[in-house]
Structure 1
Amino acid sequence: MTHAPADPQSAPSPEQLREQVERPRHDLGQTVQALADKTDVKTRAQQKTGELKEQAIAKTDTLKARAAKATSQIHDKLPDSVKDQAAQTAGQVRARAAHAGRMWEEKAPEPLRQKAARSAQLARDHRTVLLVAAAGVTVLWVAGRRKKG
């Protein structure tokens, strides 16, 4: 009895065998890399920090735009007499602040002056937010006075 020769078509070629081995090896490599990424707490924390920072910047930009729009709308609705009074008051405040600043420089101790200078720089860096808040408070104050009068 003779055996029928093996079907050469059914036996995998060396290339097919390499492919069959390479595919699971590649999948295993990806799985190992994914597990390594999950255990790299420092990198994940940095990524999350970056994402949160981007979200905070976007939210800040949105809030600034809303505040600017609201300020513009309020400014447009204010009567000229209120605007004139606000400008006059602002001038008086600037003059008094300049005088107080000169007095401060003459009499305050050096460490206190340094701390005040840092605070003033912080206020200058966030001027828009402070101005919007001041405008909002002024509008509320004016509105409250009108209701009383």
Structure 2
Amino acid sequence: MKDASQDNTGTPTPEELREQVERTRDKLGQTVEELAAKADLREQTKDKVAAVKERAAGKAGTASGRMRHLTEQAARRVKDRTPDAVLEESARVTAQLRERTVRVGQYAAVKAPDPLRERAERAAKAVRANRAPLLTGSALLVAFLLVRRSRGRNR
């Protein structure tokens, strides 16, 4: 049976040809866009970098949380195993150190030259800004030394 849109010779009409050309153009445009997206190395690199950054941030957050948890556990264990007399002496020595530090700071503020004072202030700010890592590191060092000391006794 003949299609009404074709003439008697079986060739498509001009309207059908236009539609066919339009469909082909659409398909070709989509194909070109897909190929351009695949060839866009810069965009692919950006996407991969973003994915790697996201994974790294997630892993860093997880590791940080785990490290914080382990540090807290270690600090609790050290505190639990430390005799009360040692804790009290530690608190007393800490108070003395704070008092002496204040006195030395006051003396240095009066006697030290300006450039030295400025450097000391910058160092103090850096220590205050990084207090948590410094305390964590100190706690880990104490825990390590206590474990090492106890293992030495057990041999």
Give TM-score scaled by structure 1 length. 0.66
Which aligned segments of 4 or more residues in structure 1 are displaced greater than 6 angstroms? 39-51, 143-149
| Alpha-carbon separation, structure 1, partners of 2:152 and 2:69 | 32
Q: Is the 8 A contact 2:109 2:117 kept in 1?
A: yes
Q: 2:31 aligns with which of 27, 32, 54?
A: 27
Q: CA deviation at 1:6?
A: 2.1
Change over 3 Å in CA distance of 1:117–1:89 after alignment to 2: same
Where do 1:80-119 residues align within 5 Å? 80-119=84-123
Q: Is the 8 A contact 1:38 1:44 kept in 2?
A: no
Q: CA deviation at 1:144?
A: 6.8
**Residue of structure 1 equivalent to 2:3:** none
Unaligned 5+ residue runs, structure 2?
1-6
Change over 3 Å in CA distance of 1:44–1:114 after alignment to 2: farther
Deviations along 1:95-146, one digit per CA (max 9) or x if unpaired, are 1111111111112221222222122112112212211222333445566777
- Report how many residues are paired: 145
Unaligned 5+ residue runs, structure 1?
none
Q: What is the letter of the counterpart of residue 105 of structure 1?
A: A
Q: Does 1:68 align with 2:95?
A: no
Deviations along 1:32-78, one digit per CA (max 9) or x if unpaired, are 24434427989987887777566555544443333233222322222
Change over 3 Å in CA distance of 1:61–1:141 after alignment to 2: closer
Q: Is the 8 A contact 2:75 2:139 kept in 1?
A: yes
Structure 1 range deviating more: 15-24 or 65-74: 15-24
The CA RMSD over aligned residues, in Å, is: 4.0
Percent identical residues: 21
Structure 1 or 2, whichever has the larger Rg, is: 2
